[in-house]
Structure 1
Amino acid sequence: MGTAVEDRQKAARLPEGDVIGVLLNQHAQIKDLFAEVEQASGDQKHDAFEELRGLLVTHETAEEMILRPVTDDVAAEGVAEARNAEEQEANEVLKRLESIDTDTADFDRELAELKSAVEEHAEKEETEEFPAVLQHCDADQRAKLGRRVLAAERVAPTRPHPSTAGSPAKQWTVGPFASLIDRARDAIDKATD
Structure 2
Amino acid sequence: MTQRTDVVELLEAQHARIRTLFDEVARTAGEDRRRHFHDLVRLLAVHETAEEEVVHPFARSHLDDGETIVGQRIEEEEKAKQALALLDDMDTDSPEFLDRFAALRQDVLAHADNEERYEFARLAEVADKGRLESLARAVRAAEALAPTRPDPGTDTALKNVAVGPVAAVVDRTRDVIRKAVG
In structure 1, C-alpha distance between the alignment counterparts of 2:4 and 2:93, rounded to whole Å: 39
Percent identical among aligned pairs is 32
Which of 186, 190, 193 does residue 165 from structure 2 map onto? 186
Q: What does 1:21-60 correspond to in 2, within 5 Å? A: 21-60=9-48
Aligned length: 158
SS of residue paired to 1:17: coil
User: Which residue number corresponds to residue 124 of structure 2?
Assistant: 134
**1:100 to partner: Cα distance:** 1.8
SS of residue paired to 2:75: helix
Q: What does 1:98-113 correspond to in 2, within 5 Å? A: 98-113=88-103
Does 147-156 or 128-137 show the bigger shift?
Answer: 147-156
User: Which residue number corresponds to residue 179 of structure 2?
Assistant: none
User: Which residue number corresponds to residue 161 of structure 1?
Assistant: none
Which of 145, 149, 152 does residue 142 from structure 2 map onto? 152
SS of residue paired to 2:15: helix
Q: Which runs of 5+ in 2 are unaligned?
A: 155-159, 167-182
Which of 86, 104, 107 does residue 96 from structure 1 map onto? 86
User: Which residue number corresponds to residue 177 of structure 2?
Assistant: none
**1:106 to partner: Cα distance:** 0.7
CA spacing shift, 1:178–1:82, aligned 2, 3 Å: closer
In structure 2, C-alpha distance between the alignment counterparts of 1:178 and 1:155, rounded to whole Å: 14
Instruction: Give the root-mean-square deviation of aligned CA atoms.
Output: 2.6
Counterpart residue identity of residue 116, structure 1: Q
Q: Give the structure-1-normalised TM-score.
A: 0.73
- The CA deviation string for residues 106-156 of structure 1, in whole angstroms up to 9 with x for no partner, is 111111111111111111111110122101111111101101112333455
Q: Which runs of 5+ in 1 are unaligned?
A: 1-7, 158-171, 188-193
